[in-house]
Chain A
Amino acid sequence: MNAPMNFEEGKPAGQVRERLVVIGNGMAGCRAVEEILARDPGRFDVTIFGAEPRVNYNRIMLSPVLAGEKTFDEIVINTQEWYDDNGITLVSGDKVVEIDREHKRVVAASGRIEPYDKLLIATGSDPFIIPVPGKDLDGVVTFRDLDDVDKMLDAAEKGGPDGGQGRAVVIGGGLLGLEAAHGLNLRGMNVTVIHLMPTLMERQLDEAAGWLLKTELERRGQTILTGANTKEIIGKDGKVAGVRLEDGTEIPADIVVMAVGIRPATGLAREAGLEVERGIMVDDHMVTSDPAILSVGECVQHRGLCYGLVAPLWDMCRALADFVTESPSGYEGSVTSTKLKVSGIDLFSAGDFSGGEGCEDIVMRDASRGVYKRVIVKDSKVLGAVLYGDTADGSWYFDLMKKGEDVSDIREALIFGQAFASGGALADPNAAVAALSDDAEICGCNGVSKGQVVSCINGGAHSLDAVRSTCKASASCGSCTGLVESLLALTLGGEVESGPKTMCKCTSFTHGDVRKLIVEKGLKEIPQVMQELHWTTPDGCASCRPALNYYLLCAWPGEYEDDQKSRFVNERMHANIQKDGTYSVVPRMWGGLTSPKELRAIADVVEKFNAPMVKVTGGQRLDIFGIKKEDLPAVWADLNAAGMVSGHAYGKSLRTVKTCVGSEWCRFGTQDSTGLGVQIERMTWGSWMPHKFKIAVSGCPRNCAEATIKDFGVVCVDSGYELHIAGNGGIKVRATDLLCKVETEQEALDMCAAFIQFYREDAYYLERTAPWVERVGLQYVKDALGEEGAVERYAARFHYSQQFMQDDPWAKRAAGEHEKLHQHLAEVRPFPASQMENA
């Protein structure tokens, strides 16, 4: 054959190859070229620009390189020979700076100009740098390419300033940050991870798994700070010296790794006028808004999504290659799963685990093996999975999820671990309840009558929970739970399934079990309790979280950090919410005593903040109503200035100590009831309790302070003090039981402290002293406190715990603590509608 040769050597005339230029010598760019070559090797003349001065390597393996488990050579995907063998021109270390769409060519930093017929943008993404002071200091690095790894290895090698251990701070507790932290830790650095969210890897993990991960990393010597906001990177002589957090904490550092996230690298495309939102917009064939320009990888946005993992890139590259070789298939988006590449930690997460309507969580925990598994099911399909400690089934769940398979047949076996079998029946049908008329009110909160409850039970609500959700009876304060249970028993006969009453739907343990186990097993955090006690939900509910928070606070005073999120609004705001959303403020008046200064301060507050009402409460103090959430800190500051502290009128805590005038003035008085009351209130204020707790001291048996309907009441007599317990003036009035009689004020104070502590340690959350004593029996309390040395022991524990409780929450708030809770974000002042149209 003597076919005329084209001037381009080796190519037959008439078959001029199209020129394909690729921007980005990364994972997606090269994979796309490989896919095209596999389909039609002769189709394109390929030129690849890479900003990095090296061949294509497996970026995800940078973590093992950092950790010392792999070398760079081992993670190279395409060697120089591959480029040569396939006739690919690799322009490495030269960044493309412009796409000239008009002339169909690209311009590189070196000045090199390359024309194209088809252009492929595969620029990946850029690490996101948080805009804090000091971000540009020497020693602040990201974790994206081999150069970053080299910088980290250098820092590890160099060590600390005086030859000691090097200190690294990693900002960001996501996948990348934790892999960086792990590597640096293995390289001998002292590592602190700063994470903004309360949970590590919160995009992939729920609170439970995040807690397990955190504990394991801490066990390995890393310091993990969650809920920590970086304020500034501190420098010294232009070099990084540490990190300062919003709360003022300073962490010294020789290197700071920013791993807070990535942003698609869209600059070139945007400047070239391509359609770009978060990423470069592509269709199902990876074509951008310019038909000659394609794009794949982390830089694209497909059907509204940007990806940050490699699996989707492979699918994209296949679709792209199919399209350019004229057998279009189309990319339909990817479902992704995540694994953490930290040796010895098994963790898997896939799909959607944010829960929501119609979602069902199936949770299995095995505390002894450190396993937590959660599968989220909706409409009989697996929606997501989070696995920790045992990820063997990860790919199976992932498969079920991707295929959208119906799992109703295997629902029971989907996750192992049958709920605890319920124990023996307790309910004892109550004749008095049977005798109530149909219109008798059962639930005062929600106004539900006996007839309504019964018809709701007959209508199919065969459990307490079902009754609560269908007719609301006992769904609010819960004080009528016993009545509803009796009605269930009466109406259904033996059919009601009544195991021992568990704490809530999340657990099969009773309150008593949980309290006991917290102490026995030394459980010190909410997620730890949930893991160790095999909670059946990932993060509890509005009923068990506050209870656990209290139990932990009581068990580990000074050690346990109060979890604000687990508190009811009143306890978070330190004020009582009213039906219009405003708050009432009740400052403490010790023993009901007040002074002109206090009264003046209250009067001033009322006027200054336009409080619509002030009222004398039943607890011998004043209540200021109608205060707006955002005014609370200012109100408290004013009251603090006059020496007044929070009255805790809002909390499950010591409320007030009522006193009568006593021997000081009253002609009947036998002892200084006012003085004793003040002492008691000074001793007990600020203590969190299972429920609210009220005290009173009367100066003689005429009992003007109504001490015999209080949780703890003192009635003074000539020969000393009668101490009464477990009275209640609420829905169900109950007179106190006499606990004992003592001779001195000191004994009265000691017994008061001891009794409170015993109640704090023994009662269930939301159980007042009256139902508690009725449940356990007066003798039980007497026995416990009657033991040799018991009063001293309980009182000592109470005083110890009080050390940590008696700081005025108002003062802290007034000084700015949790200020965000009180302030509006901003205010929107809409423009007139006509202007809006053009906005």
Chain B
Amino acid sequence: MMIGNWLDIGPITQIEPGTARTLPVVGGEEIAVFHTMRNEFFAIVNKCPHKQGPLSQGIVHGDVVTCPLHNWNISLRSGKALGDDEGCVPTIPLKVDAGRIYLLRSAVIGAQDKAA
């Protein structure tokens, strides 16, 4: 993949393990970037498929976030609601290299299309 396709959003240390931080996209959907307790990183659109709860504010366990509003469990890996809930939130491809986080640029922009 071409270097230019990845958007550098800064060092991994800016997100405490077990939490998420947000990345507003002008004219698009806000993205939540997660750092799990097991040191994995994920990026998804910051909108619960149930009633748009801010997933970045949920409790993170394993690779799952529990939505702060009504406790849906969302897989950070697939964006899918787990258990018997149905719904899906767009995921944004992410990679970590030399301590920095990169998001796939086209997906950052594209997040707006899918969700709109």
**Residues in B whose Cβ lies below 8 Å from that of A476:** 70-71
B87 at the interface (CB under 8 A from A): no
A827 at the interface (CB under 8 A from B): yes
Q: Report if A542-B71 is in contact (Cβ < 8 Å); known contacts: A356-B63, A820-B15, A825-B9.
A: yes
**Residues in B whose Cβ lies below 8 Å from that of A569:** 57-59, 68
Interface residues on A, range: 35 or more
Point out the residue from B15, B26, B52, B84 that lies within 8 Å of A830, measured CB to CB: B26
A545 at the interface (CB under 8 A from B): yes
Q: Considering the chains assembled together, what is the distance between the CA atoms of A629 and B28 in angstroms?
A: 19
**Residues in A whose Cβ lies below 8 Å from that of B69:** 577, 579
**Residues in A whose Cβ lies below 8 Å from that of B108:** 828, 830
Interface residues on B, range: 35 or more
Which of A191-199, A514-522, A723-731, A792-800 lies at the binding interface? A191-199
**Residues in B whose Cβ lies below 8 Å from that of A278:** 97
Point out the residue from B37, B75, B97 that lies within 8 Å of A198, measured CB to CB: B37
Q: Considering the chains assembled together, what is the distance between the CA atoms of A198 and B27 in angstroms?
A: 36
**Residues in A whose Cβ lies below 8 Å from that of B77:** 356-357
Residues 3-32 (chain B) with a chain A CB within 8 angstroms: 4-5, 7, 9-10, 13-19, 21-28, 31
Are B24 and A229 within 8 A (Cβ)?
no
A800-820 CB mask vs B (1 if < 8 Å, else 0) is: 000000000000000000101
Are B5 and A839 within 8 A (Cβ)?
yes
Q: Report if A581-B37 is in contact (Cβ < 8 Å); known contacts: A355-B62, A469-B84.
A: no
A609-652 CB mask vs B (1 if < 8 Å, else 0) is: 00000000000000000000100000000000000000000000
**Residues in B whose Cβ lies below 8 Å from that of A475:** 71
Q: Considering the chains assembled together, what is the distance between the CA atoms of A273 and B55 in angstroms?
A: 44
A836 at the interface (CB under 8 A from B): yes
In the assembled complex, how far is the CB of residue A651 from the closest CB belonging to chain B, in whole angstroms? Answer: 14
B60 at the interface (CB under 8 A from A): yes
**Residues in A whose Cβ lies below 8 Å from that of B109:** 828, 830, 833, 836
A254 at the interface (CB under 8 A from B): no
A565 at the interface (CB under 8 A from B): yes
A446 (CB) vs chain B CBs: closest residue: B70
In the assembled complex, how far is the CB of residue A121 from the closest CB belonging to chain B, in whole angstroms? Answer: 20
Q: Report if A206-B59 is in contact (Cβ < 8 Å); known contacts: A475-B71, A823-B21.
A: no
Q: Considering the chains assembled together, what is the distance between the CA atoms of A820 and B13 in angstroms?
A: 10
Are A469 and B83 within 8 A (Cβ)?
yes
Q: Considering the chains assembled together, what is the distance between the CA atoms of A521 and B37 in angstroms?
A: 27
B23 (CB) vs chain A CBs: closest residue: A825
Point out the residue from B5, B14, B37, B66 that lies within 8 Å of A820, measured CB to CB: B14
Are B84 and A357 within 8 A (Cβ)?
no
Are A828 and B53 within 8 A (Cβ)?
no
A263 at the interface (CB under 8 A from B): yes
**Residues in B whose Cβ lies below 8 Å from that of A818:** 16
Q: Considering the chains assembled together, what is the distance between the CA atoms of A234 and B50 in angstroms?
A: 50
Q: Report if A203-B15 is in contact (Cβ < 8 Å); known contacts: A354-B62, A541-B61, A825-B10.
A: no
Q: Considering the chains assembled together, what is the distance between the CA atoms of A566 and B53 in angstroms?
A: 19
**Residues in A whose Cβ lies below 8 Å from that of B70:** 445-446, 476
In the assembled complex, how far is the CB of residue A353 from the closest CB belonging to chain B, in whole angstroms? Answer: 8
In the assembled complex, how far is the CB of residue A838 from the closest CB belonging to chain B, in whole angstroms? Answer: 8
In the assembled complex, how far is the CB of residue B97 from the closest CB belonging to chain A, in whole angstroms? Answer: 7
B44-55 CB mask vs A (1 if < 8 Å, else 0) is: 000000011110
A314 at the interface (CB under 8 A from B): no
Are B24 and A828 within 8 A (Cβ)?
yes
Q: Considering the chains assembled together, what is the distance between the CA atoms of A354 and B74 in angstroms?
A: 15
Point out the residue from A199, A227, A579 that lies within 8 Å of B51, measured CB to CB: A579
Are A565 and B21 within 8 A (Cβ)?
no
Q: Report if A357-B105 is in contact (Cβ < 8 Å); known contacts: A199-B37, A828-B23, A828-B24.
A: no
**Residues in A whose Cβ lies below 8 Å from that of B19:** 565, 820-821
Are B14 and A825 within 8 A (Cβ)?
yes
Residues 54-94 (chain B) with a chain A CB within 8 angstroms: 54, 57-64, 66, 68-71, 75, 77-78, 80, 82-84
In the assembled complex, how far is the CB of residue B55 from the closest CB belonging to chain A, in whole angstroms? Answer: 10
**Residues in B whose Cβ lies below 8 Å from that of A545:** 59, 61
Q: Considering the chains assembled together, what is the distance between the CA atoms of A355 and B13 in angstroms?
A: 23
In the assembled complex, how far is the CB of residue A378 from the closest CB belonging to chain B, in whole angstroms? Answer: 13
Residues 556-606 (chain A) with a chain B CB within 8 angstroms: 564-570, 573, 577, 579-581
- Among the interface residues B19, B38, B108, which one has the most CB atoms of the partner chain A within 10 A? B38
Q: Considering the chains assembled together, what is the distance between the CA atoms of A830 and B39 in angstroms?
A: 29
**Residues in B whose Cβ lies below 8 Å from that of A469:** 83-84
A823 (CB) vs chain B CBs: closest residue: B21
Q: Considering the chains assembled together, what is the distance between the CA atoms of A263 and B97 in angstroms?
A: 10
Q: Considering the chains assembled together, what is the distance between the CA atoms of A322 and B87 in angstroms?
A: 50
B53 (CB) vs chain A CBs: closest residue: A581
**Residues in A whose Cβ lies below 8 Å from that of B31:** 828
Q: Report if A581-B52 is in contact (Cβ < 8 Å); known contacts: A821-B19, A827-B26, A830-B108.
A: yes
**Residues in A whose Cβ lies below 8 Å from that of B98:** 128, 263
Q: Considering the chains assembled together, what is the distance between the CA atoms of A540 and B23 in angstroms?
A: 29
**Residues in A whose Cβ lies below 8 Å from that of B37:** 198-199, 202, 207, 539, 565
A732 at the interface (CB under 8 A from B): no
In the assembled complex, how far is the CB of residue B96 from the closest CB belonging to chain A, in whole angstroms? Answer: 11
Residues on A lying within 8 angstroms of B by beta carbon are 128, 130, 196-199, 202-203, 206-207, 227, 229, 263, 278, 353-357, 445-446, 469-470, 475-476, 539-542, 545, 564-570, 573, 577, 579-581, 629, 818, 820-821, 823-830, 833, 836, 839
19 interchain pairs, CB-CB under 8 A: A197-B17, A202-B37, A202-B39, A227-B16, A354-B38, A354-B63, A355-B62, A541-B61, A542-B59, A545-B61, A565-B19, A565-B59, A579-B69, A581-B53, A823-B21, A825-B10, A826-B9, A830-B109, A836-B109
**The 3 nearest A-B residue pairs measured at CB:** A565-B18, A581-B54, A355-B62
Residues on B lying within 8 angstroms of A by beta carbon are 4-5, 7, 9-10, 13-19, 21-28, 31, 33, 36-40, 51-54, 57-64, 66, 68-71, 75, 77-78, 80, 82-84, 97-99, 105-106, 108-109
